[in-house]
A = this chain, B = another copy of it.
């Protein structure tokens, strides 16, 4: 069952606390990638002008979940296993976009990559990779 951009946005807004609070939106869903966005908000700016690390990490994590939902359908029990994020440069005061792709969809883990950028600058603001543990039998309290 293929979810639309609005359906994915709704699942994430309700299922991933902090995503809704930062204004997470699913802009485009393609077979190979999703484009998501958070609107510019001066509340998220730290002294010195950079966007708060936790805000960027929330966008990156929600974006990984978006490409997984776009690919698998309503996999609401999928949970983050690992995230690695490099912060590359201070973003301009604009909306922040994330393009997420699947590096590998395994039986147990889905590996994702996320490029984060503003609209007016080709250089990346941040880059993340990570994995989500996919639901399976006997997962219980563990995540892997």
Q: Which residues of A contact B (CB under 8 A)?
A: 15-19, 21-22, 43-48, 50, 52-55, 57-58, 61-62, 76-77, 79-90, 103-104, 106-109, 111, 113, 123-124, 127, 129, 131, 133, 136, 138-139, 141-144
Q: Which B residues touch A53, using CB under 8 A?
A: 16, 61, 79-80, 83
Q: Which B residues touch A45, using CB under 8 A?
A: 17
> Which of B83, B124, B127, B129 makes the CB contact (< 8 A) with A57?
B83
State A142–B90 Cα separation when bound (angstroms): 6
Q: Closest approach, in angstroms, between the C-beta of A33 and any C-beta of chain B?
A: 15
State A127–B114 Cα separation when bound (angstroms): 13
A106 x B16 contact (CB < 8 A): no
Q: Which B residues touch A79, using CB under 8 A?
A: 46, 48, 50, 53, 87, 90
10 contacts between A and B (CB under 8 A): A17-B44, A17-B55, A47-B76, A50-B143, A57-B57, A86-B103, A86-B104, A86-B131, A88-B111, A90-B141
> Which of B52, B109, B142 makes the CB contact (< 8 A) with A81?
B109
B80 x A87 contact (CB < 8 A): yes
Q: Which B residues touch A141, using CB under 8 A?
A: 89-90
Q: Which B residues touch A86, using CB under 8 A?
A: 81-82, 103-104, 111, 129, 131
